[in-house]
Amino acid sequence: MIPMHWLEIVLIGIALSMDALAVSVVLGAAEGKKLNWKRIFVVALFFGSFQAFMPLLGWFGCGLTGLVRAAGRYFAAGLLGLIGGKMIYDRKEEHAVVFTLPKLFLLALATSIDAFLVGVGFACLNHTSILKEVLLIGLITFLISAAGCLAGRTSEKLLKTERCMLIGGLVLIGIGIKIALFG
């Protein structure tokens, strides 16, 4: 067994959380003043939980790697594109609902597909237990996502909500395209 150093796990956690950070900023900006601490906690909990769960799933489901690599990125890209498109479409509505649990579930799933493949990598390195590692990855993503929500909420004060939703929708579509093209 090759020992994993904690610095490596922290760096993996930071790298895996970047898509969640971008989406958290988008959600924070789109929600604006409606984004209270409870909502920030829920967003961060969803992203952190998925980033912790998916490597664990990848570690257990090593044989599913080809399927996830082939279809998973297009699934994630499609979800992000649809949600981004809906944000752009709804941006002029006065009471557009950005924050829904089903939407948050799909966003967390779409941004954590790469974490599944990290779990497969852990399995290939013959790690007998990755519980501490995935918990640290989840905690890092939780904290980064919460910070992203706060940053997004702050940016909403500088821009109008309609503009934030347009930019946010374009960012989600851009992340989807990046995932589709480069994984």
CA 150 from centre of chain: 15
> What is the model's pLDDT at position 130?
84
Asked, for residue 107, whether it belongs to a domain, the answer is no
Is residue 161 over pLDDT 70?
no
Structure tokens, 183: 């994984």
Asked, for residue 26, whether it belongs to a domain, the answer is yes
Asked, for residue 44, whether it belongs to a domain, the answer is yes
> What is the model's pLDDT at position 2?
46
> What is the model's pLDDT at position 135?
95
Which residue's entry shows tokens 């906690």?
41
Asked, for residue 81, whether it belongs to a domain, the answer is yes
Asked, for residue 102, whether it belongs to a domain, the answer is no
What is the average pLDDT score of the chain?
Answer: 82
Q: Percentage of residues in the chain with pLDDT exceeding 70?
A: 81
For the chain, the domain total comes to 1
Name the residue type at position 26. V
Domain containing 39 equals 6-93+117-182
> What is the model's pLDDT at position 26?
85
Name which residue leads in pLDDT, 50 or 113: 50
Asked, for residue 164, whether it belongs to a domain, the answer is yes
Asked, for residue 101, whether it belongs to a domain, the answer is no
> What is the model's pLDDT at position 17?
92
CA 50 from centre of chain: 8
Angle between helices 6-16 and 113-124 (to 10 degrees): 150
The 10s digit of each residue's pLDDT in 98-120 is 678 998 998 999 888 888 888 87
Asked, for residue 122, whether it belongs to a domain, the answer is yes
